[in-house]
Amino acid sequence: MSQPKKINLAEAAALVQDGDQITFSGFTIWRRPVALCYELIRQRKKDLHLFEVQGGFHSDLLVGAGCVKIWEGAWMGQEMLGKIGENLARKQISGEILVDDYSHGHTVGRLMAGALGLPFFPCALAMGTDIFNPEYDQLAKAGLRDGRHRNIPAKKYIMADDPFFNRGECALLPAVNPDVALVYAPIVGDEGTVRILSQSYSDAEVIKASKTVIVICEEIVPDSYLRRDPAANLASGYEIDYIVECPWAAHPTGSQFYYDADADFLKAFNKIREQKAFDEFAEKWIFGVKSHEDYLEKLGVRRLEELRASKISGYSSRVKRGTR
Amino acid sequence: MSHASEYCKPGEFKPIDLLAAAAAREVNDGDVVFAGTGLPMLAITLAQQEHAPNAVCIYEAGSIDGRPLHTPTSVGDARCTYQASKAAGLFEAFYGQLHSGTVDLGFLGGAEIDKYGNVNCTVLGDYNHPKKRFTGSGGNSDICSYAKRTVFIMVQEKRRFKEQVDYVTSPGWRVKKWPSGEWVTKQEVYKSYFKGGVSTVITDMAVFRFDETGEMYLDTVHPGFTVQDVIDNVGFKLNVSRVSGQTLPPTKKQVELLYQVIDPEGIFLP
């Protein structure tokens, strides 16, 4: 049992090696480790293998920046703030990346098997769909299921009979154990206890399944404070390897009780349809800022104050979300 | 539902209002409803405000029976968990609730559908060389495969109502049994896991249901459209022998609820 090490953003990103399989905390446009993803792009990571329950701003960003070789997931987009992940769409169509689709139940199950140290997860969800069509298995087609790639299982799935109750076939889906988990949590204790303040998404499984866990947080607080209410905590310090303190690290995604999702920022990002426009975005918000603090300064106090969440409701009532 | 005079006359509602009202009617009081982002959120909330106060809503990011004060823009939104019985995660939503057989009704969207209710929300064209990508399944496929009933809300276009969809994201009543790929009934694939399936498709023109053999038929046509309009906007031979009449327009109260209470910020509604 050891306590996590406190490091900075650049050191955290340097832990990710080219070709690593990585996964993330959060859900679509909530609690994503965006500051860390920006830093991966600054450090020009490449050939990353993303496994995620579903994508969002953070991963469509990594895809747009050319850091990703393989994307396995169930969904990509920004919900009502940009339905389709346009960078993934563009690069899947051009053949620049390998995309392998699952359902949410499948990605959640695969991650849970990894979290539990089991080889596979049994599941009867989404049977009879093209997710199981062998002709569409992109990793097999690329010759990557040959047993020589540590993060790629020999098969996408198998259908197996129930040997105990004769209930019929269900799917066995291979476990996933990513090399690195990039986790955003609002609060972490100085001994590493992790607290989130709303839905848990798949964050506990992401932490347990991954070999190295980096948690980036709004603030580090005394562990003794978080231990007053252990039922409210997500993970223990000894499950975490590294902590980075970085306020507003999830922007433009939201963090309940800290800030809302930045609808204008996300909608503007979702208008990008070609590489040139992406590169301009990256120049403005990633390469054109010297540090995370610089990024926040560029966003400006007014914008950040609008996004700041109510400590009572958990979200902002000042942010304009619709047309009225 | 109350007196007919309360129904809106043509011109007193927008197409999306009727869509939300028709979708809300699919919710029974007491249903456990698993809803996706967008119009499904409006429909379940409208039902809860009116005839189905005991309907429970689950959003896939993990909020159980939330009672949002403000309409969420995402199923992972902070707003979803307000007054929820539980703020859990996806494992609870997809396994603790859905796989366990608890969910009565799924509310989903899709880009393409065939006459057996197979839905595509992944790609257009051959998956190996797609022409266009959509979001991918997310929970669409899981919910459609495991909820007792599923309602799809879609746009009525010939290119979307196809003989065969480009990619089966979510299973209808006749599906392929993998890995062999032979066409069989959904019941044959799911066996003891079978819970039900797609029951209704609601578009901007009409409401469709599925017969005993799992084939889609036209049930009602929205005010302002004819059966022929619908036929002209369906890419397969549509069964129109069971049309039961016109889709009820929304009531004045429903329109008021939609604009004043459910979506005053104009997130989904114009």
pLDDT tens column, A210-256: 999 999 999 999 999 999 999 999 999 999 999 999 999 999 999 99
pLDDT tens column, B162-218: 999 999 999 999 999 999 999 999 999 999 999 999 999 999 999 999 999 999 999
Biggest alpha carbon–alpha carbon distance for chain B: 56
Q: Which two tokens stand for residue B187?
A: 């019941």
Those residues whose C-beta lies under 8 Å from the C-beta of residue B175, and which sit 6 or more positions away, are A127, A128, A129, B116, B118, B168, B183, B184, B185, B186, B189
Compute CA distances A295 → A165, A247, A255, A272, A288, whole Å. Answer: 58, 11, 18, 20, 9
Q: How far apart are the first and last CA of chain B?
A: 26
Handedness of CA A94, A74, A56, A111 (dihedral sign): negative
Nearest to B142 among A83, A105, A112 (CB): A105
- Whole-angstrom distance, CA of residue A34 vs CA of residue A24: 10
Query: Would you state the pLDDT for residue B5?
Result: 53
Amino acid (1-letter code) at residue A59: S
Quickly tell me which residue has 């396995």 as its tokens.
Answer: A72
Those residues whose C-beta lies under 8 Å from the C-beta of residue A149, and which sit 6 or more positions away, are none
Query: Residue A202 carries which DSSP code?
Result: T
Q: What is the DSSP secondary-structure string of chain B?
A: ---GGGBPPTTSS-HHHHHHHHHHTTPPTT-EEEE-SSHHHHHHHHHHHTT-TT-EEEETTSEES---SS--SSTT-GGGGTT-SEE-BHHIIIIIIIITT---EEEEE-SEE-TT--EE-SEES-TTS-SEE----TTHHHHHHHSSEEEEE----TTTB-SS-SS--B--SEEEETTTTEEEEHHHHHGGG---EEEEEE-SSEEEEE-TTS-EEEEEE-TT--HHHHHHT-SS--B-TT--EEPPPPBHHHHHIIIIII-TT-SS--
- Whole-angstrom distance, CA of residue A186 vs CA of residue A247: 9
- Which of A130, A259, A310, A319 would you mutate first to test chain B, the one with the most B CBs within 10 A? A130
pLDDT tens column, B22-43: 999 999 999 999 988 788 889 9
Query: Length of chain A, please?
Result: 324
CB contact under 8 A, A324 and B95: no
> Which residues of chain A have a CB within 8 Å of the CB of B82?
313-314
A125 touches chain B (CB under 8 A): yes
CB contact under 8 A, A105 and B99: yes
Those residues whose C-beta lies under 8 Å from the C-beta of residue A301, and which sit 6 or more positions away, are none
Biggest alpha carbon–alpha carbon distance for chain A: 62
Give the distance, in angstroms, between the CA of residue B256 and the centroid of all CA atoms in the same chain: 22
Query: Would you state the pLDDT for residue A171?
Result: 98
Q: Which two tokens stand for residue A12?
A: 């955290």
- Whole-angstrom distance, CA of residue A171 vs CA of residue B83: 36
- Whole-angstrom distance, CA of residue B188 vs CA of residue B186: 5
Quickly tell me which residue has 């029974």 as its tokens.
Answer: B28
Looking at residues B98-102, what average pLDDT do you find? 97
Task: Answer yes or no: pTM beyond 0.90.
Answer: yes
Amino acid (1-letter code) at residue B198: V
Q: Mean of the per-residue pLDDT values for chain B? A: 95
Compute CA distances B218 → A111, A222, B115, whole Å. Answer: 41, 63, 11
Pick from B196, B174, B246, B203: which is nearest to B31 by CA?
Answer: B196
Query: Would you state the pLDDT for residue A322?
Result: 84
Pick from B133, B154, B171: which is nearest to A83 by CA?
Answer: B133
Pick from B140, B258, B248, B142: which is nearest to B190 by CA?
Answer: B142
> Which residues of chain A have a CB within 8 Å of the CB of B80?
199
Query: Would you state the pLDDT for residue B4?
Result: 45
Q: Which two tokens stand for residue B225?
A: 């459209």
The number of C-beta contacts closer than 8 angstroms across A and B is 241
Amino acid (1-letter code) at residue A321: R
Looking at residues B254-264, what average pLDDT do you find? 95
Let me know the angle formed at the C-alpha of A109 by A106 and A114, rounded to the nearest 5 degrees.
Answer: 130
A204 touches chain B (CB under 8 A): yes
Angstroms from A47 CA to nearest CA on chain B: 20
- Phi, psi dihedrals of residue B113, rounded to the nearest 5°: -145, 150
Those residues whose C-beta lies under 8 Å from the C-beta of residue A237, and which sit 6 or more positions away, are A3, A4, A189, A191, A192, A193, A223
Query: Would you state the pLDDT for residue B3?
Result: 59
Looking at residues B243-254, what average pLDDT do you find? 96
- Whole-angstrom distance, CA of residue B94 vs CA of residue A74: 13
CB A172 within 8 A of CB A157: yes
Query: Would you state the pLDDT for residue B185?
Result: 98
Compute CA distances A94 → A73, A88, A200, B7, whole Å. Answer: 19, 10, 35, 50
- Phi, psi dihedrals of residue A196, rounded to the nearest 5°: -120, 165
Angstroms from B269 CA to nearest CA on chain A: 9
CB atoms closer than 10 angstroms to residue B180: 9
Bridge partners, residue B83, by sequence: none
> Which residues of chain A have a CB within 8 Å of the CB of B134?
83-84
- Whole-angstrom distance, CA of residue B132 vs CA of residue B137: 15
Per-residue pLDDT of chain A (324 residues; tens, 9 = 90+): 688 999 999 999 999 999 999 999 999 999 999 999 999 999 999 999 999 999 999 999 999 999 999 999 999 999 888 889 999 999 999 999 999 999 999 999 999 999 999 999 999 999 999 999 999 999 999 999 999 999 999 999 999 999 999 999 999 999 999 999 999 999 999 999 999 999 999 999 999 999 999 999 999 999 999 999 999 999 999 999 999 999 999 999 999 999 999 999 999 999 999 999 999 999 999 999 999 999 999 999 999 999 999 999 999 988 888 888
Angstroms from B236 CA to nearest CA on chain A: 21
B60 is catalytic: yes
Query: Would you state the pLDDT for residue B36?
Result: 81
Looking at residues B95-114, what average pLDDT do you find? 97
Pick from A90, A145, A131: which is nearest to B127 by CA?
Answer: A131
- Phi, psi dihedrals of residue B36, rounded to the nearest 5°: -90, 180
Give the distance, in angstroms, between the CA of residue A66 and the centroid of all CA atoms in the same chain: 17
Compute CA distances A92 → A75, B122, B176, B199, whole Å. Answer: 13, 12, 25, 33
Q: How far apart are the first and last CA of chain A?
A: 53
